[in-house]
Chain A
Amino acid sequence: MKTKYLLLIGLALAMAVVLGGCATGLSASSWPGVTADATNAYIAGGPYVYAVNLQTGVEVWRYPAKAATATPYYATPVLTPDGQLIVGSFDHKLYSLNPQSGAQNWVFDQARDRWIGGVLVTSEGIYATNADYNLYALTFTGTLKWVSPFQADQAIWGSPVSDGTNIYFGTLGRKVYAVNAQTGKQVWVKAVDGAILGSPVLGPNNTLYVGTYGDALVSLNTSNGSIVKQETASSWIWSGPVQDGTNIYVGDGNGMLYAFPMTDTGQPWTQQLGGAIVGSPLVNGKTIIIGTELGNIYFIDNTGQNLRPISITGKIYASPVAAGTLILVAPTSGDNTLVALDLNGVTKWSFKAK
């Protein structure tokens, strides 16, 4: 009898440990967010935000000094014009850090869910979308200016964008919202065919582009939300599209990279890459750079020609980031936390968080 109950109690405790592990399984939560200034790269990579020197690849600081498992950072960090680094956490808090030292400036703690996308910084302040269905407008000192007076229909994972008048964002509930940048009041809302996981991008002629989990790239008129055009992909589109003034580029779950013309001068093309494309492509001059789940980074001319694959250990879900003459790539479950390539795809340094 005693053995039986001891066994049950032991299994119950084991259950507590395993369930605890499930709940805080950081590796399954998301993938790193990366940004850079002229001096450092900044990586929100699980329990820490790291600053890494761009010249040497050596860690400059990490925040917090001691990791808390319940506080993983994955949202892309964003730099403000007044010298702050803003990064959201899964602990529902938005942090402002000093990019030079990693010291905490302020914390905004009024949101009720995870910060998954990076914030939008304009001259007016900080606009931040949260998985609690709300858009928050903050001053540069972290004071709440307003929270949108309506709730979106579902969680917001992507960063918002702005044309100066309105703020635009998509939701997991398959809707695109335009809200007034001054008041947060809803200007229009438009339903699309699939969940929107990434950020929208603004194009010419008052057009807003969103990629959907329902295999489509949708363009909408920013003045009223009407759908202008819908392009079909071969699979889900995860992160937001990017544009270079001529074409709009987006990848899908089957590893197809698409270029859709935004203007009459653009030429459409597609390229089949190896592995699903989760992150957004990077437009770097006349080169498009994109990572795939199989651990390949592809450099390709913006005409769709001259494909150059570079192999990196790990899965690449995060979008590549340009930092001067370097391309920064943050692989997931690879040997390194951050890899810096030159424009020919040669590794200059790699950083592994300890």
Chain B
Amino acid sequence: MWETIIVNPFSTALLLIYKLIGGNFGIAIILFTILIRLITHPLMASQIKSSTKMTEFQQSKQWQDIQKKYKGDKEKLAQEQMNLYKELGISPFASCLPSIIQIPLIFGLYQSIMRALASTPGQLLIFTRAVSPLLNFFHINSADLVPLNSKFLWMNLGQPERVYMFGVGIPLLALIVAVTTYVQSKVTMPASPNPNDQGAMMNKMMALYMPLLLGYFALTFASGLSVYFITGNLIGIAQYALLGKVNWRALIPGYKPNTTARNK
């Protein structure tokens, strides 16, 4: 089911793009990532909107009054919070859903890249069985696509990347993934009036852990996935920028957000 709905169509789309642009799999991954981001842009816009609403909610006098009022009664506080969500039309999971949707896309893309690159006999056999019939539908002979050109810049997209300097393998791409993920998290993080509130602390934790996690993936898995992560991070920043929600000053060490100005 997963293979039929996600992996095989993704592989086919990647290979169609690869074929159309004349055989550069790195560019195919970048274009495919842009395509996926365009398709999921309404979700992203909805996530940004929901996050903004949530931040505004947390800064509202009404919510702060309720917090003070029910300081010692967590159950009542939670109940009042839910009531207020309803009243203001806020869904606490609306900002979370688009991120969750990204996760199966990452699974699917990784598997599609590995399937399309087919760097082992087993993978090539699966490619032959699963992807070839779809390619035939588009009048493309899969034999013409074997092997794919897996070289992109200095990378072999089917292998984890290392740049060798003085005999030492430096995971340059993993570093770029970690840095771009960190930058994206920082510049798109909603400003909070109170850096000690739970949401702000969680955001800070995510800004720290996500670069480490994605950096680890980039270090361990095929570099094609890293190309997807980097492209996705850059497009993510661009999407926020288009909606006027990027705060570059957040990258300055010691920066204190002016929440009133930003969240208006």
Contact with A along B19-36 (1 / 0, CB 8 A): 000000000000000000
Q: How far is the CB of B233 from chain A (nearest CB, A)?
A: 15
Contacts of A278 in B (CB 8 A): 125
Flag whether A228 is at the interface (Cβ < 8 A): no
Question: Are A116 and B120 in touch, CB under 8 angstroms?
Answer: yes
Q: How far is the CB of B210 from chain A (nearest CB, A)?
A: 7
Most A CB atoms within 10 A — which of B96, B123, B147, B216? B147
Nearest A residue (CB) for B97: A4
Question: Are A195 and B146 in touch, CB under 8 angstroms?
Answer: yes
Complex CA distance for A4 and B123, rounded to whole angstroms: 36
Contacts of A131 in B (CB 8 A): 119
Flag whether A65 is at the interface (Cβ < 8 A): no
Q: How far is the CB of A150 from chain B (nearest CB, A)?
A: 17
Flag whether B93 is at the interface (Cβ < 8 A): yes
Q: How far is the CB of B231 from chain A (nearest CB, A)?
A: 18
Flag whether B72 is at the interface (Cβ < 8 A): no
Complex CA distance for A116 and B216, rounded to whole angstroms: 27
Nearest B residue (CB) for A131: B119
Report the number of A-B residue pairs with Cβ-Cβ less than 8 Å.
96
Flag whether A9 is at the interface (Cβ < 8 A): yes
Flag whether B70 is at the interface (Cβ < 8 A): no
Partner of A1, one of B99, B110, B199, B221: B199
Question: Are A30 and B143 in touch, CB under 8 angstroms?
Answer: no
Question: Are A2 and B202 in touch, CB under 8 angstroms?
Answer: yes
Number of interface residues, chain A, beta carbon within 8 A: 44
Partner of A5, one of B121, B205, B216: B205
Number of interface residues, chain B, beta carbon within 8 A: 39
Nearest B residue (CB) for A214: B143
Contact with B along A1-21 (1 / 0, CB 8 A): 111110111011011101110
Flag whether B122 is at the interface (Cβ < 8 A): yes
Complex CA distance for A14 and B99, rounded to whole angstroms: 14
Question: Are A5 and B122 in touch, CB under 8 angstroms?
Answer: no
21 A-B pairs in the complex with CB atoms less than 8 angstroms apart:
A1-B199, A1-B202, A2-B198, A4-B95, A5-B206, A12-B213, A16-B213, A19-B107, A23-B114, A27-B122, A29-B120, A30-B122, A113-B159, A114-B119, A114-B120, A116-B120, A173-B147, A194-B146, A197-B121, A197-B124, A236-B128
**10 A-B pairs closest in CB distance:** A172-B147, A5-B202, A28-B122, A4-B96, A29-B122, A30-B121, A29-B120, A195-B146, A1-B199, A214-B143
- Which B positions have Cβ atoms within 8 angstroms of A? 92-93, 95-96, 99-100, 103, 106-107, 110-111, 114, 119-126, 128, 143, 146-147, 159, 198-199, 202, 205-206, 209-210, 213, 216-217, 220-222, 225
- Which A positions have Cβ atoms within 8 angstroms of B? 1-5, 7-9, 11-12, 14-16, 18-20, 22-23, 27-31, 74, 90, 113-114, 116, 131, 154-155, 157, 172-173, 194-195, 197, 213-215, 236, 253, 278, 317
